[in-house]
Chains A and B, each alone.
Chain A
Amino acid sequence: MDKRILVIEDEEIIAEYYKKILQNAGYEVAIFYNGNDALQYYRQFHCPVVVTDLEMPQMSGEEVIGNIKEIDDDQVIVVVTSYYDPATIINIMKKNVYDYIVKPIEPVEFGATIKRAFESAEYRKMKKALEQERILKLERQIEWFNWHESIIQRNYDRVDRELFSNLHESFNQGAGFGSLLTLIRLIASMAKKSNGNYVIDEQMFELIKKNADVAEKILNIFSELVIIMNRTFEFEKVSVMELHSLLRMIIAEIEKYAGIKKMKIALSEQKPPYKSAYVNIESDYIKKAFHEIFMNALKFSKPSTAVMVFVDMKTEGVEILIINTPEIIREGVVGIPVEYENLLFEPFFRIAKVVYEEFETSDYGLGLTLVEKIVRKHGGSISIANILDSSDISRASETKVCVRVWLPLASEASRGERKGA
């Protein structure tokens, strides 16, 4: 994360104080004692977060904000003011600043505000990258589809081979059916007969039980898939706010797995329209689907990166974007190669051949199949594709993986009426 912060404060001693606490918190601080110099710097070295005093000679904080917003309307700005006057604060907040802090600053509150401001800057940056990516995709849509088709045609044989090879690997990997067969063959060759019974080694028997559990897990997923495809869902009307809370709850539940690779999952903030918009969901299944998506994002991410989750209201639905920074799976493969985008939801399809035991998942390539069936049952859609993040000019473009889940809004007429699908 870009940790540069621009601080504009005319009082040298206070500026020095901010610098010390921000540096102690790991930020790279650029201090300016007046707005003019700060603006000159800002034009050259755009910073994710700007902190500005309000009352300054020469150029006031309000003017600084106005000038910065002219350059980048999306700039995250935190205002420090010694005025408690609500009218002044409201007036400042109307200028689309991120937050305000009243002097004298309390270091804990100050630190927390700056941390949130950086998270917000990261969200905004990522959103911008997504928008740019969307525009690019639209511009080259026809070309892209043609190319996509040709790639699929060209790679059809390879992809087909991969599917069967995946099936083979899935059933023969570390635990499950493959091991069961091996163990039974071993027993058949090694077990001794005694009084009409076979005597089996205790350790071997334990191994059989363990592998039977894994095989059972796979069979359970199969059963679940069949259930999802055949059963009528009992939908419950919930607000988008509640859906957001559900996502937050899932994230809290899987926090321990995020720790495995020193990662974090950041969820976008709630917005007022979430209260008055509704979706029809079956909570248990939606929970299961997002649990699987988040776990996948953790498993396939570079260590010490963040998984960003955006909830956004669209005209007819809710869009949930899950973006992660993928690890190189194997040589030349970063994220989701375009020819695999649709195949990801096919049963047993796996790009990575690795088994992630520490995440306690089965890794049989059935998770996304399950997710897709759940989302479709909700009248929604899911897609997974690489996006190129070029928003940080100080770094080279980076490939990220974006999972887009779209769920339809419950219309006024249908609210609460939709009982089955």
Chain B
Amino acid sequence: MDFKKAAESMQLPLDDYLSLVQKFLERLPQYREGIFSAKNSGDMKRLAAEAHKLKGVALNLRFEELAECAKKIEIIAKGEAQIADDVFGMLEHLIMEIKQLMLAKENRDG
């Protein structure tokens, strides 16, 4: 993930972009919790809505893989595809990856 490129494509100064990513990181546990609690309770309508929310924000911030993953969950929840557990595993993985990316950037910048 190239933050500079993402900021350019959103026509934002890098600092503004990073402040949005920071907010996103703070909200990520909520998005995650929303999706998993809906999944565990079997509430497919809520699952679709929660995945839809995450997809929207991720797409805007140019986290394309995460958005793709959320989109898959949304499609599954709407009954348009079969449930595949590895999608949720992938979601966990991507959330972790974004956190690490941001952490790595902070360490680099000192």
Contact = CB atoms under 8 A, between A and B. Distances in A.
A11 B53 contact: yes
Contacts of A105: 60
B23 interface: yes
Name, among A14, A20, A104, the residue most crowded by chain B CB atoms within 10 Å (CB to CB): A104
Contacts of B57: 11, 13-14
Interface string A1-45: 000000000011110110011001000000000000000000000
B11 interface: yes
Given A17-B60, A107-B10, A55 B16 contact: no
Contacts of A354: none
B36 interface: no
B56 A16 contact: no
B20 A13 contact: yes
A398 to B, nearest CB: 34
B60 A12 contact: no
Interface in B1-39: 9-12, 16, 20, 23-24, 27
Contact of A14 (B52, B60, B62): B60
A17 B56 contact: no
Contact of A13 (B12, B55, B60): B60
A16 B23 contact: yes
Contacts of A55: 52
Contacts of A16: 20, 23
Nearest to A18: B60
A217 B62 CA distance: 62
A82 B56 contact: yes
B10 A103 contact: no
A21 B17 CA distance: 11
Nearest to B23: A13
A103 B59 CA distance: 8
B11 A104 contact: no
Given A13-B23, A13-B24, A21 B11 contact: yes
B11 A108 contact: yes
A107 to B, nearest CB: 4
Nearest to B8: A107
A104 B68 CA distance: 12
Contact of B52 (A12, A82, A108): A82
B47 interface: no
Tell me what chain A mostly uses at the interface: helix, strand, loop, or mixed.
helix
B61 interface: yes
Interface in B80-95: none
Contacts of A103: 56, 59-60
A20 B59 contact: no
A17 B12 CA distance: 9
A165 to B, nearest CB: 57
A409 B67 CA distance: 55
A16 B23 CA distance: 10
B23 A82 contact: no
A14 to B, nearest CB: 5
A79 to B, nearest CB: 14
B90 to A, nearest CB: 20
Contacts of B24: 13
Contacts of B10: 17, 21, 107
Interface string A91-109: 0000000000001110110
Given A13-B20, A16-B20, A107 B52 contact: no
Nearest to B58: A104
A155 B48 CA distance: 76
Interface in B38-58: 52-53, 55-57
Contacts of A12: 23, 27
B16 A20 contact: yes
Contacts of A14: 56-57, 60
7 closest pairs, A vs B, by CB? A104-B59, A107-B11, A104-B60, A13-B57, A13-B23, A14-B60, A20-B16
29 contacts: A11-B53, A11-B57, A12-B23, A12-B27, A13-B23, A13-B24, A13-B27, A13-B60, A14-B57, A17-B12, A17-B20, A17-B60, A17-B61, A20-B12, A21-B10, A24-B11, A82-B55, A82-B56, A82-B59, A103-B56, A103-B59, A104-B56, A104-B59, A104-B60, A104-B62, A104-B67, A105-B60, A107-B9, A107-B10
Given A13-B27, A17-B61, 11 more contacts: A11-B57, A13-B20, A13-B60, A13-B61, A14-B57, A17-B20, A17-B60, A21-B12, A82-B52, A82-B56, A103-B60
